[in-house]
Structures are given as structure tokens and as C-alpha cells.
A and B are shown apart, each in its own frame.
Chain A
Amino acid sequence: MQNKKHTPDSGRRAFLRNLGIFGAAGALASCGIKTGDDDHSNTRGTGEMTMRHNPNTGDEVSVLGYGCMRLSTMGMRDGSQNDTIDQEAVNASVDAALEGGVNYFDTSPAYCKGNSEAAMGEALSRHPRDSYFIATKLSNFSPETWSAEASKAMFEASLKNLRTDYVDYLLLHAIGMGGMEAYENRYVKNGMLDFLKEQRAKGTIRNLGFSYHGDVEVFDHLLEMMDRGEVHWDFAQIQLNYIDWHHAKEVNPRNTNAEYLYNELHRRGIPVVIMEPLLGGRLASVSKPIQAKMKTRRPDDSVASWAFRYAGTPEGVLTVLSGMTYMEHLRDNLATYSPLDPVNADEDAFLQRTAVEILENDTGRVPTASTACPAPTEWIFPAFSHTITSASTRTMCHATPPTRTMPRHAALSSTATTLPCPRCARPTAVWPAEHVCRTARRLSTYPLNSIKSTFILKNSARERYKLKR
């Protein structure tokens, strides 16, 4: 199995490549005959998965990649708090993904409290090893794992947990976090970069790349190394979505515009793997006016599908990662990418306008790890409760200026207690998460004249009464 890298022009690969070309031609043809929304709704999700070609190893990679950071838990199955991984659900999901044409699985030793690789190893090992590509990472974030021994042990453990003797894609995990210093400590001083290059030469690693967050200095440095011929990056993973394309700094001052990152990589012929196509779930849920515009253009498509189509459109994109915990998300994404209908110039302009609209009018600034208030997650600041993503209960505080107030929340005010905000220390009304996070978030979207408002308010009042008792 390991020598597959050395025979990239074998018959199977050539066949697959031809298949890919035909697939692409088919996708183009189906785009060509498109005349309007009605045609679109008929073709969506009816074809084959769009495949992308990796020039380094000749891999034909599905444009939809399976992210393994949030796998199903037993708690999801039975409604409890149990967070052990539901292997049965993971197996079913992996089977459905493979059947839908997904062949790229992105995991890490750091995901799911360290259990993601083992769960994926079990699920994937039930299928032929050459029917999928495994991507994992050297996630030696903690200083204890900076030594060569510990880092090598981490890599060996990955192979063991994934039940394989080679990894198709290996990433230096999240370079840029901690700046050049962290990068030097994690990969250069301990000789891990050389070790990984050796492993690539041996075939244990088929593609070597990196994922980037944070300090752009490290990103530039790695590309300069490649320009100098010190290392060859087979691929790179960046955050790309229609907000990050031009407005990454407005989301998080440490981030870099995806336009720059993508162009730098594409110019060098490095295939790009996309993470955060939904910006942490934020782009799956937009305000009503924006949603109305999206649905007017493509009524049957989900809000999330716009972000996925956007991320998959650039030709240098190898695959777009999505953490598909729930079967319906997998189905929706398969429909979006089978085949991918690329975003056209008009739609691209629409999404760029939408990005500005989201940033300016919708929710102020998008919460990310850097702007999130460190308040305990059970505290919800109601004025911002609509910025909570379904994926994570991140909150914002006074440090971020509000752009919209929601007077209807006043109805809930009797349950609030005043506490100093842990971030900016100003007195802040804090609502119990139980009904603000859940009830008020929905309330924020109600039309004013609707009986629904009273209906939910009545329920809130009932809950409030219970709490008082």
C-alpha cells in the first residue's frame, strides 16, 4: 500500500482521472443548460459528486470533505449529557458519506477529546483502504508534546488509532497560532519537519501540508521556504468563506483575508483545503431579509448551501470540509456538491454584498474565539443572544458594540440578575440560559404583529413562574 505514491500513473489512477474529467464535463454541461430557478431545483443533488484533482499524487478528491471534529455522541442519541462517541451513528454516517462519493476524511489527535481518530479508524477500516483518503494532523500544541519523542509518538498513535500504515494527508496543525515562536518550537527545533519529510519520502505520509490560523508571518514564511526549495507543500488548509474573503480582519483582527491566502497558494499550484466554510456555523443562519434574498434566487437551497457553493467554487480548492454530525446535514451537502453548481459572477457579487450586510446590519461582529466573552456559557447576554451559533454557545459582551437592540426581550427581564461582566467588568443583566438562549433567540425573529410572540411569551412566563418556585 505504501508504494502507491510512487506509481501515480498506474492504470487505476489514470482511469479515475479520466472519470474526473468526464464528471467535470458533465457538471459543466448541466450548468450550461440552466435557465432559471426551476431548472436548478430539478438538477440539484441528482448527479455525481464533483471531484478535484491533486497534481502531486494524482488523487481524485471529492469536493466535499468529511470533517471529524464533532462526531455523534451517545447523548445525542438518547437526549442525555453522555459525550462518549456513538460509534454506530459514526459508522452509519461514514457509510452514507462514502456512498455519496465523499472520500476525504479530516481528523486530528485533538478532536473529540482525543477520540476522533479511533472512532474514524473503526468506521473507515470497514471499507477498502484505497476507497478513501485520511487526513490527520500533528497537533502538538501543548509544550509537553514539543519534544521530538512526544511528537513522533503522537504521529505513531495516529497511525495506530486510524488502523492504517500510511496517512494520505498530514498537516502541521494550526500554524500561525502562537506566531513564529510556536512554529519553531513545534516543528523546527525538534526536527519534526525533517522527520515528516522523511516519512513522506518513505510513503508513510503521501501528502504533507499545513493548516493555518492566526499570524500571517508564519504562513508567508512557510511559502518562502517552498520558494527557496527547502520544502514542498503538497497542500494547505485555510479558512475561506464569503465573509473571510475580504473581511477576515473585521471578524477577528488576527485573521487574514482568504483572498490573499488563496491567491498565494494557488499561484504556487498548491491545492487548497477549505475549513470553516460556514464560519463556525454562522453562515448557516442569517437574518430574515438576507435569507429572503437567498431564497428568492434559489428557493429550495438551504442557507448553508450558499456558503458551501462559494467555498467550493475556486478552481484551486481540493476539498471543502464540513463537520456533518447529523445525517440531514450530510444529505444537504451531498445535494449541494452532486454536482457542484459554481457561484457565478452575479452570485459572487451578491455574496460579497451579503457579507457586508451581515457584518454591518445583522449581528454586529461575528463571534469567534478571539471576540467571545469568557463568561460561562450558561450566561447569556440577551442583547446578543441572536449571535449564538447552533454549533457553539459563544457569547459577546459590552466590549463589542451592539448594533441592534431587541426591546421584546424586556418581557423576560424579571428573571435577570445583574452581575459584573467577566471581560469588561461593567454590570450586565444576565438571563438564565434555559429560556433566553433557547426561547429568546427564536423570539428575536418574530414579526411584531404576530400572535406567535404572545404564544412564546406565554410559555416564557410559565417557565419563569416555575423558576421562581
Chain B
Amino acid sequence: MKSHSLKYLRIAAGILFLVCLTLVFVDFSGRAALWLAWIAKIQLVPALLAVNITAIIVLALLTLVFGRLYCSVICPLGISQDILIWLRRVTAPRRKRKPGLYRFEKPHTAWRYIFLGLFVLLAAAGLLALVPMSFAGILDPYSAYGRIAGQSLVPLWRSAMGSLAEWQAASGNYIFDGVPAAAVNFNLAVAIVAGITFVTVAIFAFRTGRGYCNTVCPVGSILGFISRFSLLKPVIDTDKCNRCGSCGRHCKARCIDTKNHRIDYSRCVVCMDCINNCSQGAISYRPARRKATQNAADAATVDAGRRSFLVGAALASAAAASAKVTDGGLAPLKKKQPHKGITTSVPAGAASLRNLRSHCTACQLCISNCPNEVLRPSTSMDSLMQPVMIFTDGFCRPECTRCGEVCPTGAIKPVTVAAKSSIKTGTAKVDAATCISAAYGQTCGNCARHCPAGAIQMVRQSDGNMRPVVDENYCIGCGSCEYHCPSGTAGQLSAKRAAIYVEGIETHITV
């Protein structure tokens, strides 16, 4: 293969990976997750947390052979930066763009170690559950991308699909799958963190190329240790080089010291731009210690690859659907408020609050994938941005095990459907004062009727009203009762919350 094709191969692979990973986030129907969730599982930090030995070895070997290809092809934040860098280049005036936008820079070694040290410190504190692992996850590039996508592309896509679905449903057409705009998940805490990350990354990308990857990103620093010793590298053939310096000025990693013919391989992300920018054909991607072959690739036209590419079409129909949600034209429905219990509920595969807290880097993949509208990012500081179950928009269906299937870090482990139906994640509690049956004497029993575990029954109180009671041994904490409870939803009651709600438990129990 000619050296010039390598760049386009890298771009194609990078876009493929980015689009596929984004699909896993965006496609809440779960079809993409079924086939593509492995892309999340081969991300370095999640693989380390999940002790995914295969992925770790493969990534180490990949870097040892090809250099930091990971940063150009696998890492979604890296590819996103490449897109930003490309945007900057195509918008730059020709007189600046032509000679190249960058110049060689010495590595900010001290900063690299400071950020890596900070990350290791936060990760260690996370593993010991002193702080949630999501603090370390702020620096993890994959999780950062997840948060950015989860707070921008996912709500956009879902509300667009929701609007389409509502529009088409009016004429009896149900081909679209989506949720009403009102239910689209947008979380301020995550949005702020994601926003800050995005702005930081964008500033770095516009001003310093891959400066974020080579100074701040801990994954970049870790892979940098290995990539110095990689087998294949871009190598400058000093016989051919005419010291024009073009490669250095086009290197977004700013790692080519053209004066001394040196490349800092700990920072090189093997984007191959230098190869294509060298008019003399002096740079080739080959085993470093071997002498450059004389029959090197002939110089092709440098500008051949300036074709434009698009990541995806912008979604036009993001107009918020303001249709009033009603139940068969009866009572107007309002949004229920969640209960604030002593303990939060987390999904079945998490095993315990401790496990989730010490493993989740808050990439939002489970939240984006939850088809039941039950997983939401936490806003509390002891589990910041990590998933918790809120039962106002849905309940954790016993037949769904999606979050465990997609989670790359082992914070939520995969469980079988049979196992899940008897993993207790919480216990329902009754607030009889707001129950329309116990307190108001209405015929309801909705919670008992919908309980998938058969744990709720209605018993007669001394005043003759029926009241729900919960068998704490059969209740698995799925939240169906809280979701289906009319209290807090039907307009005529002053209650803001459901009369039956789930109190989480710290360690899950197999009942």
C-alpha cells in the first residue's frame, strides 16, 4: 500500500468508529447497542476498570506495533478533535492554511505528569469509594465524549424522533419510534461538565491542534509511554529531506522537530498528515530501525485528499413538541416529582451502590440506552453524573437487561433475565396519606395490579378503605408501583409525588 493512502484509511476507520459509537449512544431502540457496544468496551479506561484483559492486551499490542493509532481511530474524543481541527483548517484563510498552521513545540512534560497523576489519584480514590469514579471519569476521553454526545446529540435525536412520531401518529402512522420532547433527558449537572469539557477541548483543538491529547488526556499520556517503542513509525529520510519544514507546520500534534529531523513519538498520533504533506516523499511509515528503502513511494500530488467529508446530517426537526399529554381526554396529567429516599436505587447488575460508585466513569451510555426512561444521571455529589433509577417516567422492566449489556466499565454487570427478575434493588414503601385509595376511598389498586413481582396486595383498613401493602420479601424494587401511581400525576390531587415509592438498598439481594 502506498504511504499516501494511509491517511485516508485512518480517516475512514476513525469516522467509522465514531459513527458506530455515536449510534450506540443515539439509537435508544437498542439495535445498534446489540452489535456495536463492544466499541465502548475497548476504550482504554473502561477496559482497565472492567479488568478486560483481552482489550487491554490488544490495545497495548496495537500501540506497540502502530503507535498511538488508538488516539486517531478508536478514541471518540480524539476523532472529534480531528473534526474540529479540520473545521479550523478549512475556515482558515488560504494564506495561513497553505504554509501550515502549526509549529514544533517541546512537550509539556510537567503538565502531562500533573494531569496523569491527578487522574491516577482520583481513580484510586474512586476505587476506594472515597469519591465517585465519575470524578476520574471527567478526564477520561471516552466518558467525556459520552457526556457531550449524551447531552447534545441524544436529546436532539430523541426529540426529533419524538416529534416525528407524534406528528405521524396523528395520521395513524406509527413507523417512528421516539419519546415526547417532554421526556427527553437533559441533566444540568452533566450538561455543565460536558459543556466545560467541550469548550476546553475545542479551545485546545483550535489553538494547539492535539494539545489536549498530548498534555491533559491521561490516556494519551499512558499510550505515549508505549508508543515511543512502537514498531511502525513515521520516519524522516534525511537523504531526501530538503528541510522545507512543511511536515512540522502541518503536524497537529506539533511533535516534528524539523530542524533536527526528530519526531516525538510519545505525542505522535500517527495521523499520517506529514507523509502526505512532504513534497519530497521523505517521510514514510515503516519500522523505525531499518534504513529507509530507496524505492520509496513517488511523490503524489499533495492536495489530492482535500475532499470534504461530513459526519452526519444535521437534524432539522428539533422543534419542541408542545402537545398536551392527556389520558384519554380525562384528567389532565402533570409530571410527577421523584421521591428522595435514604438510599438511591441502582440497576440490578450494579450489585451494590459501592460497586457502581467505584467503577462508573459517568459515560452516560446506560442512560442513553435505557429504553424504559428510568435511568437518570445523579446530581448528588457522592455519585455525580452516575446513573440512578428515577421512577417518574418509567420503571425498570424485569425483562430488560440493557444497561448491563452496554456498560463498558463493569459498574453494571450483565445479568440474565431470569436472574434479574429476582434481584432485589429496593423495596416499595407506602405513603398512605396521599394514596387515593387508602386516604380518599377511591377504587384504585393500580400498584397492586401492575406489580410484576406480585408483591403488593390491597387490604382493608379499619375505616373500610383499601390500602396497598408491600411484601418486602417479594418486592424487587422495579418501581412499577411508583410509576403507575396516580398520586402526583392526576391534576385534582395536591400531592406532588407518588403515594407508593421505592426506597433503594445498598447491597442488592437475590430473593
Which residues of chain A have a CB within 8 Å of any CB of chain B? 36-37, 41, 72, 76-79, 88-89, 284-285, 288, 291-292, 295-296, 299-300, 302-304, 325-328, 332, 390, 434-435, 438-439, 441-442, 445-447, 450, 452, 455-456, 458-460, 462-463, 466
Contacts and interface: CB of A to CB of B under 8 A. Distances in A.
8 contacts: A72-B507, A284-B473, A295-B469, A299-B432, A328-B343, A390-B509, A434-B416, A445-B454
A79 B355 contact: yes
A30 B422 CA distance: 39
Contacts of A76: 351-352, 507-508
Contacts of A456: 421, 452
A76 B507 CA distance: 7
Interface in B449-478: 451-454, 457, 459-462, 467, 469, 471-474
B422 A439 contact: yes
A77 B351 contact: yes
B6 to A, nearest CB: 43
B298 interface: no
A296 B460 contact: yes
Given A390-B473, A390-B509, A37 B417 contact: no
Contact of A327 (B415, B474, B506): B506
A332 to B, nearest CB: 8
B483 to A, nearest CB: 15
Interface string B479-511: 000000000000000000000000101111111
B349 interface: yes
B209 to A, nearest CB: 41
Contact of B452 (A88, A390, A452): A452
Contacts of A291: 457, 469, 471
How extensive is the interface on chain B, given as a class?
35 or more
B418 A460 contact: yes
Contacts of B421: 438-439, 442, 456, 459
B417 A463 contact: yes
Given A326-B505, A390-B509, A445 B461 contact: no
B268 to A, nearest CB: 38
A390 B355 contact: no
Contacts of A445: 454, 474
Contacts of A434: 416, 418-419
Given A438-B510, A452-B452, A455-B399, A299 B418 contact: no
Contacts of B506: 326-328
Closest A-B pairs by Cβ, 4 of them: A79-B351, A295-B469, A285-B473, A438-B422
A89 B472 contact: no
A79 B430 contact: no
Contacts of A447: 454
A79 B350 CA distance: 8
A360 to B, nearest CB: 21
A326 B471 contact: no
B398 A459 contact: yes
Contacts of A466: 416
A296 B465 CA distance: 11
Given A296-B460, A455-B399, A462 B417 contact: yes
A299 B422 contact: no
A328 B417 contact: no
A36 B469 CA distance: 17
Nearest to A281: B473
B336 interface: no
Nearest to A389: B473
B351 A299 contact: no
A44 B505 CA distance: 20
Contact of A303 (B467, B472, B510, B511): B472
A224 to B, nearest CB: 42
Given A455-B399, A459-B421, A288 B457 contact: yes
Contact of A390 (B415, B508, B511): B511
B474 A442 contact: yes
A293 to B, nearest CB: 8
B402 interface: no
Contact of A89 (B413, B430, B432, B507): B507
B230 interface: no
B427 interface: yes
Nearest to A292: B459
B458 to A, nearest CB: 9
A303 B352 CA distance: 24
B459 A452 contact: no
Contacts of A304: 472
A327 B355 contact: no
A299 B469 contact: yes
Contacts of A88: 129, 354
Contacts of A460: 418
Contact of A79 (B129, B413, B417, B461): B413
B462 A37 contact: yes
A438 B419 contact: yes
Interface string B121-144: 000000001000000000000000
Contacts of B505: 326-328
Contacts of B398: 455, 459
A303 B451 contact: no
A121 B461 CA distance: 47
A447 B455 CA distance: 11
Contacts of B472: 302-304, 332
A452 B421 CA distance: 12
Contacts of B461: 37, 296, 299
A285 B511 CA distance: 10
A344 B469 CA distance: 22
A326 B507 contact: yes
Contacts of B460: 296
B343 to A, nearest CB: 8
B421 to A, nearest CB: 6
Given A295-B459, A326-B505, A459-B421, 12 more contacts: A76-B351, A79-B351, A285-B471, A295-B457, A302-B472, A326-B506, A326-B509, A327-B343, A327-B507, A442-B474, A456-B452, A463-B418
B451 A452 contact: yes
A79 B419 CA distance: 11
B459 A303 contact: no
B454 A450 contact: yes
Contacts of A458: 399
A37 B352 CA distance: 34
A291 B456 CA distance: 10
A297 B224 CA distance: 68
A72 B427 CA distance: 19
B80 to A, nearest CB: 33
A442 B509 contact: no
A447 B458 CA distance: 13
Contacts of B413: 78-79
A460 B473 CA distance: 21
Contact of B418 (A325, A332, A459): A459
Contact of A299 (B352, B399, B467, B510): B467
B493 to A, nearest CB: 20
Given A76-B507, A79-B351, A445-B454, A459 B417 contact: yes
Given A299-B432, A299-B461, A435 B454 contact: no
Given A292-B457, A326-B507, A456-B421, A303 B452 contact: no
Contacts of B454: 442, 445-447, 450, 452
Residue of B352, B418, B452 with highest tally of chain A CB at under 10 A:
B418
A78 B467 CA distance: 37
A304 B470 CA distance: 13
B422 A455 contact: no
Contacts of A295: 457, 459, 469
A76 B354 CA distance: 10
Contact of B352 (A78, A442, A450, A463): A78
B511 to A, nearest CB: 6
A38 to B, nearest CB: 8
A303 B457 CA distance: 14
A89 B510 CA distance: 18
A72 B343 CA distance: 18
